[in-house]
């Protein structure tokens, strides 16, 4: 988890989500081209982002996602309708907040848990707007996190984006696989995160009878041209019995 130099965020942009109809929010192309850029991207490690999106970086809720991946992931979630959410590694809180604001237009979110080893100031403000939010300042690799997960018993959706070393993200998955109906893993194609790539390959190989799998891996030509590596990528494993509900 990246806990240093956390920044405040501009929560006023969440009204851009709240003002839209469900029909519009189900349009992945609109999310990609219009909404997600306007919500504002993180401006750290700009080499990962396409130059055509730089004008939106360092603004809004500072989410750290490629909109051509995140948009289609959100639309999938709107169809699955999870009622509870846990995110490991929230950084400034942008992805966590967008996910909740988007999903509550489709399904009631009864509980949302954010985990990080540093406290993001933006989440402190957001908690006053959303009583479903709970933040725990902890390292997901320690026993206290496992105890928290066991106490919850069931969580519909989890998003693993904490420590990207293979042993660490593997440990997150193993702690969550029994209680989570949907497990999303970030950075599954990132050349800077080989440990996450190995985790995702392991899940698809060893648990193929348990899950349906989805991948959102689109890249930007301008980044490939300038730098070569692939970045980000979201993998989603949905338990078959939950998918068929």
Could you read off the pLDDT of 123-158 as tens digits, one per residue? 989 999 999 999 999 999 999 999 999 999 999 999
**pLDDT for 113 beyond 50:** yes
Q: Does domain 11-243 have CATH number 3.10.20.30?
A: no
Could you read off the pLDDT of 156-193 as tens digits, one per residue? 999 999 999 999 999 999 999 999 999 999 999 999 99
Report percent pLDDT > 90 for the chain.
90
Return d(Cα 126, Cα 11) in angstroms, integer. Answer: 7
- Confidence at residue 193, expressed as pLDDT on a 0 to 100 scale: 97
Q: What is the mean pLDDT of residues 81-97?
A: 97
**pLDDT for 92 beyond 50:** yes
- Confidence at residue 3, expressed as pLDDT on a 0 to 100 scale: 44
Kindly tell me the burial class for residue 79, based on how many C-beta atoms sit within 10 Å of its own C-beta (0-12, 13-18, 19 or more): exposed
- Confidence at residue 190, expressed as pLDDT on a 0 to 100 scale: 97
Please give the mean pLDDT across all residues of the chain: 95
Q: What is the mean pLDDT of residues 49-53?
A: 97
**pLDDT for 43 beyond 50:** yes
**pLDDT for 4 beyond 80:** no
Domain boundaries defined on the chain: 11-243
Q: Which of 182, 205, 189 is nearest to 103 (CA)?
A: 182
């Amino acid at each position: 988890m990246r806990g240093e130099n956390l920044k405040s965020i501009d929560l006023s942009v969440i009204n851009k989500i709240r003002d839209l109809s469900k029909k519009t929010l189900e349009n992945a192309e609109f999310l990609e081209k219009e909404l997600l850029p306007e919500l504002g991207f993180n401006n750290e490690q700009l080499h990962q982002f396409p130059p055509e999106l730089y004008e939106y970086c360092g603004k809004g809720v500072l989410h750290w996602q490629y909109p051509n991946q995140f948009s289609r992931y959100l639309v999938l979630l709107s169809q699955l309708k999870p009622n509870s959410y846990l995110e490991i590694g929230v950084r400034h809180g942008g992805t966590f907040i967008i996910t909740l604001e988007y999903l509550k237009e489709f399904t009631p979110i009864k509980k949302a848990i954010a985990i990080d080893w540093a406290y993001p100031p933006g989440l402190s403000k957001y908690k006053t707007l959303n009583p479903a939010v709970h933040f725990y300042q902890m390292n997901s690799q320690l026993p206290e996190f496992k105890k928290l997960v066991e106490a919850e018993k069931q969580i519909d959706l989890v998003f693993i984006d904490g420590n990207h070393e293979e042993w660490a993200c593997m440990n997150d998955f193993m702690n969550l696989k029994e209680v989570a109906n949907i497990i999303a893993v970030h950075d599954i194609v990132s050349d800077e995160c080989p440990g996450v790539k190995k985790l995702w390959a392991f899940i698809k190989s060893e648990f193929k009878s348990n899950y349906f799998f989805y991948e959102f891996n689109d890249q930007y030509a301008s980044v490939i041209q300038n730098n070569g590596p692939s970045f980000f990528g979201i993998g989603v494993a949905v338990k078959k019995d939950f998918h068929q509900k």
